[in-house]
DNA sequence: GTTGATGAGAGCCATGGGCTTGTCAGATCC
DNA sequence: GGATCTGACAAGCCCATGGCTCTCATCAAC
């Protein structure tokens, strides 16, 4: 009825239509919007309004589903971390039964989609910059990295059972660091080296860590 | 004279005393204040007011000496980068004449003061998060990292002249990545491994890259 | 003392985060 | 299948903070 609008003394535009979604859908939408904001505009550009505009909801909704923007960023970190872990796990499963293949797959998957993604790095650096100031982020970081290293360590000792515990620990740390460093640099500046070169480098490092590197840097060497 | 204050209709507190400084001193003070802010409170906490409060000057001075806060952050990146480069260079000089010692010193210096510093990491992550959005930061990043890699490459080929060009290039990239990854992780979470272990890891990686690794991971091996 | 640049500090406008208020979608009940 | 009720949701307000500008005080050199 026209009376309905006439009741208001000011002609205001009708409220935007919306569809009710379940809490999970909304939360996920907000998390994905946060990741996209972090990737595109960095931490500084990740505001409540920017996130909600991306998610296609009003800004009041963020507080409705999360404690605040900090809690949302935390949830985003957990989500992105879980997604990366899942991608690595999937790579391991697809590698077959040979633990050596599994290790190689686990390392090299970092240089393929969906992990090799500059947007993901932007999200990650945002989190790194929060680790020092936010204990919650620090706890999740320790958990994620600890898990990755533990997995590597297990694989290493499966492949070479006689490898000493401490040696396996340091090898896992080294491999993780190498992967991180390469991943960081290739995402920051993809012109320096290619993903294939990165995969070759981690494979070489892996074989060296296993003590099973047969070739030398002069592959077509005429030396005996 | 008392007349001087009486002239004003409102009793206002006297303007703070200050000393004139040269442009260089002021710029440097602002740059150092910016680095401290980045380290302590992250990018989000690095505002004009926070920086100027740290530097002990009023907020108007920032615009007086820099185009804006972005330009100041850029200058801070250049400054911090130059300081790190200088520390590495000094380590090389103090290492003597043997290029192998120089290489080792250059790599291991990353895990000693002043480079091994969580505050420095906080500054660095702030910059990483800006590389993707700010072309100026990206240019400086490419310059700094390119320079480091070129230096490593030169040292590698000095030590082992017969090493192929491409092999040296990849070795330099790998060593840089390993150092970066270890440095990142030890600054984020110092409980995972020690600085001495980091130094041992980079030394091992260096020797492996040179093809001069004699020992095996079972040092007290009973194998022939 | 004069002068010119350095510097303090208030103020302006834009944006941020959180909160409140009111509304509408969709489940529930009869 | 309509009335009712619940709570998800939009819109906008409030205050704090951000970057930056403008005005004028102050210092130091001549």
State pLDDT tens for residues A64-107: 999 999 999 999 999 999 999 999 999 999 999 999 999 999 99
Is there a contact between B118 and A131 if contact means CB atoms under 8 Å apart? no
Q: What's the confidence (pLDDT) of residue B216? A: 43
A34 preceded by a cis bond (ω within 30 of 0): no
In the block, tokens 């002249």 appear at: B161
Which of B39, B107, B217, B221 to probe by mutation at the A interface, max A CB count within 10 Å?
B217
| Residues A197, A134 share a domain | yes
**Interval B177-200 mean pLDDT:** 96
Confidence of residue B10 (pLDDT cuts 50, 70, 90): very low
Least confident window among A15-29, A181-195, B40-54: A15-29
Proximity of residue A49 CB to strand D below 7 A:
no
Token pair recorded at residue B91: 């380590």
| Residues A36, A90 share a domain | no
Residue B104 domain boundaries: 70-215
Percent of chain A with pLDDT over 90: 64
How many other C-beta atoms lie within 10 A of the C-beta of residue A133?
Answer: 14
Q: What's the confidence (pLDDT) of residue A180? A: 97
Q: How far is B45 from chain A (nearest CA, A)?
A: 10
Is there a contact between B176 and A181 if contact means CB atoms under 8 Å apart? yes
| Residues B185, B76 share a domain | yes
Distance CA(B121)–CA(B116), nearest Å, equals 8
Proximity of residue B59 CB to strand D below 7 A:
yes
Which of A128, A135, A194, A211 to probe by mutation at the B interface, max B CB count within 10 Å?
A128
Proximity of residue B20 CB to strand D below 7 A:
yes
Task: Report the CATH number that the domain containing residue A211 is assigned in CATH.
Answer: 1.10.357.10
Q: What's the confidence (pLDDT) of residue B217? A: 41
Number of domain units in chain A: 2
Q: In residues, how long is chain B? A: 224
Last residue of a domain, one of B66, B96, B111: B66
| Residues B117, B85 share a domain | yes
pLDDT at residue B222 above 90? Answer: no
Q: What's the confidence (pLDDT) of residue B212? A: 65
pLDDT at residue B1 above 70? Answer: no
**What is the phi/psi pair of residue A114, to 5°?**
-95, 5
| Residues A103, A24 share a domain | no
Least confident window among A39-48, B3-12, B65-74, B111-120: B3-12
Residue B220 lies in a domain: no
Angstrom distances, CA of residue A139 to CA of A43, B11, B97, B171: 20, 53, 45, 34
What are the start-end ranges of the H helices in chain A?
2-6, 23-41, 48-55, 60-65, 69-94, 99-108, 118-131, 135-159, 165-188, 195-210
| Residues B123, B51 share a domain | no
| Residues B163, B106 share a domain | yes
Confidence of residue B2 (pLDDT cuts 50, 70, 90): very low
Residue A221 lies in a domain: no
Proximity of residue A191 CB to strand D below 7 A:
no
Residue ranges with strand state E in chain A: none
pLDDT at residue A6 above 90? Answer: no
Distance of CA B106 to the CA centre of its chain: 14
Least confident window among A204-208, A214-218, B17-21, B56-60: A214-218
| Residues A211, A105 share a domain | yes
Q: Which of B131, B182, B205 sits opposite A188 (nearest CB)?
A: B131
Nucleotide nearest A58, from its CA to each C1'? D10
pLDDT at residue A109 above 70? Answer: yes
Angstrom distances, CA of residue A162 to CA of A98, A104, A158, A168, B216: 17, 20, 9, 10, 12
**Interval A122-142 mean pLDDT:** 85
Q: What's the confidence (pLDDT) of residue A133? A: 80
pLDDT at residue A219 above 60? Answer: no
Contact status, residue B101 vs residue B95, Cβ threshold 8 Å: yes
Nearest Cα to Cα of residue B165 among B145, A183, B173: B173
Task: Report the CATH number that the domain containing residue A26 is assigned in CATH.
Answer: 1.10.10
Is there a contact between A170 and B193 if contact means CB atoms under 8 Å apart? yes
| Residues A76, A62 share a domain | no
| Residues A96, A35 share a domain | no
* Chain B residues lying within 8 Å of A138, measured CB to CB: 188-189
Distance CA(A141)–CA(B5), nearest Å, equals 59
Residue A201 lies in a domain: yes
How many other C-beta atoms lie within 10 A of the C-beta of residue A201?
Answer: 22
| Residues B29, B94 share a domain | no
Is there a contact between A173 and B164 if contact means CB atoms under 8 Å apart? no
Nearest Cα to Cα of residue B171 among B192, B189, B190, B156: B156
Proximity of residue B5 CB to strand D below 7 A:
no
Q: Which of B170, B200, B217 sits opposite A197 (nearest CB)?
A: B170
Residue A39 lies in a domain: yes
Averaged pLDDT of chain B: 87
Residue B222 lies in a domain: no
Residue B58 lies in a domain: yes
The set of strand C positions with any atom below 7 Å of a protein CB reads 6-11, 15-21, 23-26
Nearest Cα to Cα of residue B38 among B25, B26, B50, B29: B50
| Residues A54, A130 share a domain | no
Averaged pLDDT of chain A: 86
């Amino acid at each position: 009825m026209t009376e309905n609008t006439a009741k208001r003394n000011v002609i205001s535009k009708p409220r935007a239509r919306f569809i009710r979604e379940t809490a999970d859908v909304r939360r996920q939408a907000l998390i994905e919007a946060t990741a996209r904001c972090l990737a595109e505009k960095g931490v500084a550009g990740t505001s409540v309004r920017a996130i909600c505009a991306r998610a296609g909801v009003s800004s009041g909704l963020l507080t409705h589903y999360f404690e605040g923007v900090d809690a949302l960023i935390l949830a985003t970190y957990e989500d992105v971390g879980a997604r990366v872990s899942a991608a690595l796990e999937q790579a391991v499963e697809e590698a077959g039964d040979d633990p050596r293949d599994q290790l190689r797959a686990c390392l090299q998957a970092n240089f393929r989609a969906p992990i090799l993604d500059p947007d993901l790095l932007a999200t990650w650096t945002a989190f790194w910059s929060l680790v020092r100031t936010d204990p919650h982020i620090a706890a999740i970081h320790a958990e994620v990295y600890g898990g990755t290293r533990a997995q590597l360590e297990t694989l290493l000792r499966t492949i070479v059972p006689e490898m000493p515990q401490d040696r396996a620990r340091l090898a896992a740390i080294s491999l993780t660091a190498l992967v991180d460093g390469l991943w960081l640099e290739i995402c920051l500046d993809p012109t320096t080296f290619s993903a294939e070169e990165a995969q070759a480098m981690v494979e070489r490092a892996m074989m060296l860590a296993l003590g099973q590197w047969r070739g030398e840097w002069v592959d077509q060497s005429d030396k005996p």
